[in-house]
Amino acid sequence: MHDIRLIRDDPSAFDAALARRGGEPASANLLALDERRRAIATELQAAQARRNEASKAIGQAKAQKDEATASALMAEVAALKEKMPALETEGGEIDAALEAALAAIPNLPGDDVPDGADEDGNVEQHRWGTPPALAFEAREHADFAGPLGLDFESAAAISGARFAILKGGIARLQRALGAFMLDRQTAAGFTEVVPPLLVRDEAVFGTGQLPKFAEDLFRTTDGRWLIPTAEVSLTNMVREQILAEAELPMKLTALTPCFRSEAGAAGRDTRGLIRQHQFDKVELVAITTPEQSAEVHEAMTKAAEAILEALNLPYRRVLLCTGDMGFSARKTYDLEVWLPGQDRYREISSVSNCGDFQARRMNARYRPAGEQKGTRFVHTLNGSGLAVGRTLVAVLENYQQADGSVRVPEALIPYMGGVTELRPA
């Protein structure tokens, strides 16, 4: 959420930053709403003051037997009482309109974010690892993992498209990946959390999925939302709180199922595990001071990269341009893992610094050390460390063998009870 006071201070700078994200100028409309809101507040305050003053004067006029003055004052008070509810109603409507307008505007990009309209404007930062030189034609996981326990047909019969059933060794491999990631992230200083999977409107609004992206979510009949990512639950743990600076940075991680309708992804990645309605993910969230957030952003990205490196999965880091960032982000790194079956890099993690954008929506603040009264908004960061299903895809494709078996990465063998490869049933 944006602060109308900052927009008021420099509307041209706000519009220029919004233009970098492909948005139309918005300051004029926002400031017009704000001006009308403040005018109504001033008019209402003046009416209340005059009503109180006139009410007192009525008593004085009656005490002096001045019925004409008393009658005139009573008529004035009656008119004010009739006018004030209308002002209050209009003020409430203006407040709602301004809040809705502000809520629909994405976060503004950081100064070091490259300009660009779409993914073609992203900038590669570095690469790690070498794609495997397979002695046979690489296949996509959906084409060879069926005999290993990957079952789309049964899942479709139960739930429809974009669901999967994992059985046997491949199910154990997915479980091993999630446990491995959690162990690594807690060792890196993140506190493990088991959060709610169902959340209220306020929580999804706080992290920026509502109101604009409601169609991408699943909603229950009692009005709750299935989380699209544990970011929602973890970040909202500090909503409407005032933290002590000594508590920051707060670093949290969770392994949860995630649920997405993929409404905007019709026709994309319809085969395989890349884009499912239900998937597991290890989420990383940090709550920091403004001074800490850039450093923590780099550390969180490295924590995600460390998982790929431990699994010996080639990847690249990409700095997203202004046109490819998520709604709440001010700066985002994507990690893209090499998939031999597709012969290209595919996203496996996004790590974003949201600045104080989400904090304003959640009213999440902290009190700087040594200050008794003043508070500041925290900065929030989030990222995948990693998406378990996509990591499973990367392991299957990078460790595939000609006979349809898959080697287990060395780091996962202890989590697999000593199993070193998955073999077709």
Output DSSP code: residue 408: P
**Catalytic option among 37, 350, 361, 365:** 350
According to DSSP, the residues that pair with 282 across neighbouring strands are: 255
Nearest-angstrom CA–CA distance, 370 and 393: 50
How many residues are listed for the chain in this entry? Answer: 425
Residue numbering of the annotated binding site for L-serine:
229-231, 260, 283, 382, 384
pLDDT digits (tens, 9 = 90+) for 175-187: 999 999 999 999 9
pLDDT digits (tens, 9 = 90+) for 365-418: 999 998 888 999 999 999 999 999 999 999 999 999 999 999 999 999 999 999
Average pLDDT, the chain: 95
CA angle 247, 251, 256 (to 5 degrees): 140
**Around Cβ 288, how many Cβ atoms within 10 Å?**
21
**b/e code 147-157 from CB counts within 10 Å (16+ = b):** ebbbbbeebee
* Catalytic site includes residue 90: no
Q: What's the pLDDT band for 270 if we cut at 50, 70, 90?
A: confident
Closest CA to 131 of 287, 375, 308, 372: 308
| 4-104 classified as CATH 1.10.287.40 | yes
**Catalytic option among 51, 162, 260, 330:** 260
Q: What mean pLDDT comes out for the span 253-280?
A: 86
Task: Give the pLDDT of residue 314.
Answer: 98
Instruction: Flag whether pLDDT at 268 surpasses 70.
Output: no
Can you give the residue ranges of every domain in the chain?
4-104, 119-422
CB 40 within 8 A of CB 87: yes
Amino acid 179 reads A
| CATH superfamily of the 119-422 domain | Bira Bifunctional Protein; Domain 2 (3.30.930.10)
**Around Cβ 88, how many Cβ atoms within 10 Å?**
12
Residue numbering of the annotated binding site for ATP:
260-262, 347-350
Nearest-angstrom CA–CA distance, 31 and 413: 60
Provide long-range contacts, Cβ within 8 A and 24+ apart, for 217-225.
217/259, 217/260, 217/261, 218/259, 218/260, 218/261, 218/277, 224/198, 224/199, 224/200, 225/198, 225/199, 225/200, 225/201
What SS3 string covers 147-166? HHCEEHHHHHHHHCCCCCEE
Chain centre to alpha carbon of residue 118? 19
Residue numbering of the annotated binding site:
229-231, 260-262, 283, 347-350, 382, 384
Task: Give the pLDDT of residue 70.
Answer: 84
Residue 68 burial (10 A CB sphere; 0-12, 13-18, 19+): exposed
Sheet with 218-219, edge to edge strand ranges: 198-199, 225-226, 218-219
Which is more confident, 271 or 277?
277
Q: What's the pLDDT band for 266 if we cut at 50, 70, 90?
A: low
* Catalytic site includes residue 390: yes
Instruction: Flag whether pLDDT at 224 surpasses 90.
Output: yes
pLDDT digits (tens, 9 = 90+) for 323-358: 999 999 999 999 999 999 999 999 999 999 999 999
- CA dihedral over 176, 304, 353, 26, signed as positive or negative: negative
Pairing type for strands 198-199 and 191-192 reads: unpaired
* Catalytic site includes residue 347: yes
Nearest-angstrom CA–CA distance, 146 and 224: 35
Nearest-angstrom CA–CA distance, 416 and 55: 81
Q: What's the pLDDT band for 67 if we cut at 50, 70, 90?
A: confident
Task: Give the pLDDT of residue 1.
Answer: 86
Is the preceding omega at residue 386 within 30 degrees of 0, hence cis?
Answer: yes
Lowest-pLDDT range of 17-31, 125-139, 250-264: 250-264
Nearest-angstrom CA–CA distance, 51 and 44: 10
**Around Cβ 240, how many Cβ atoms within 10 Å?**
11
Percent of the chain residues topping a pLDDT of 90: 88
Q: What's the pLDDT band for 264 if we cut at 50, 70, 90?
A: low
Nearest-angstrom CA–CA distance, 325 and 318: 11
Q: What's the pLDDT band for 225 if we cut at 50, 70, 90?
A: very high
**Catalytic option among 347, 367, 376, 405:** 347
Instruction: Flag whether pLDDT at 33 surpasses 80.
Output: yes
CB 424 within 8 A of CB 343: no
Q: What's the pLDDT band for 267 if we cut at 50, 70, 90?
A: low
Taking each helix axis from N to C end, the angle separating 27-63 and 11-20, rounded to the nearest 10 degrees, works out to 140
pLDDT digits (tens, 9 = 90+) for 108-137: 999 999 999 999 999 999 999 999 999 999
